[in-house]
């Protein structure tokens, strides 16, 4: 018997929507059926961000500081910061994340020096505030961050989701659609969704004896 030899199975948005509707005993019959499913898929991706760390959504970023400036706006796709260092002349210095209240307690916010702490304000346009205020314009902030999952815009899009999350994605979309179109199946779809999400999340962990989040810190002087 001959196998396919291929390992490139992918779901475009239309196929994922079709599968989800089939699971709740319905079909995609109108343009609105597809539109409401795309909206539900985007809402589900936002929910995934609230569930915590997915390794496949972790990205790295850099920002060059400006002397005398303590606040910096990051890209809108930054959902959360995991870790950050200050890079100076090829050496990385650990930076500690603090709360809004901790930052407000500093009496000398304008003092310049090598930043060692930061406050992350998770607004629509996220901002980081440094303490101390940078003393030069050459240091770089290097950070790991959780990146927002790309939106689903058209039926021909493929999703920015690794294949191991496909069962979870379809199960979750079926659950979201059931809440709107098949209330008698909501509990069953929710149970399947949670099971598939947990299975995918467990496989998304680092294969190490301890569960670790990515870290680029190593030096404090």
pLDDT tens digit sequence for 138-171: 999 999 999 998 888 888 888 888 888 999 999 9
Predicted confidence at residue 207, as pLDDT, reads 56
Contact 123, 184 (CB under 8 A): no
DSSP code at position 64? E
Contact 62, 38 (CB under 8 A): no
Predicted confidence at residue 218, as pLDDT, reads 45
Residues 6+ apart with CB under 8 A from 104: none
Predicted confidence at residue 42, as pLDDT, reads 94
Positive or negative, the Cα torsion across 19, 25, 29, 30? negative
d(CA 39, CA 49) in angstroms, rounded, equals 16
The four Cα atoms 170, 166, 34, 76 give a dihedral, to 10 degrees, of 110
Q: Token digits for 161?
A: 């989701």
The ranges of the chain with pLDDT < 70 are 53, 205-221
């Amino acid at each position: 018997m001959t196998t396919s030899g291929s390992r490139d199975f992918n779901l475009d948005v239309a196929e994922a929507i079709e599968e989800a509707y089939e699971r709740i005993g319905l079909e995609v019959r109108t343009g609105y059926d597809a539109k409401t499913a795309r909206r539900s898929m985007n809402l589900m991706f936002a929910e995934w961000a609230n569930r915590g760390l997915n390794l496949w959504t972790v990205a790295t970023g850099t920002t060059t500081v400006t002397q005398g400036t303590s606040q910096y706006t990051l890209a809108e796709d930054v959902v959360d910061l995991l870790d950050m260092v200050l890079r100076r002349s090829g050496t990385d210095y650990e930076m500690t994340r603090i709360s809004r209240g901790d930052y407000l307690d500093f009496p000398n916010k304008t003092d310049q020096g090598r930043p060692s702490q930061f406050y992350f304000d998770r607004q629509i346009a996220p901002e980081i505030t440094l303490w101390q205020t940078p003393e030069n314009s050459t240091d770089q902030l290097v950070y790991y961050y959780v990146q927002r999952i790309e939106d689903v815009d058209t039926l021909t899009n493929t999703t920015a989701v690794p294949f191991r999350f496909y069962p979870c994605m379809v199960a979750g979309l079926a659950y979201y659609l059931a809440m709107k179109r098949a209330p008698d199946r909501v509990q069953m779809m929710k149970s399947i969704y949670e099971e598939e999400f947990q299975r995918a999340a467990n496989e998304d962990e680092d294969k190490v004896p301890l569960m670790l989040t990515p870290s680029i810190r190593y030096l404090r002087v």
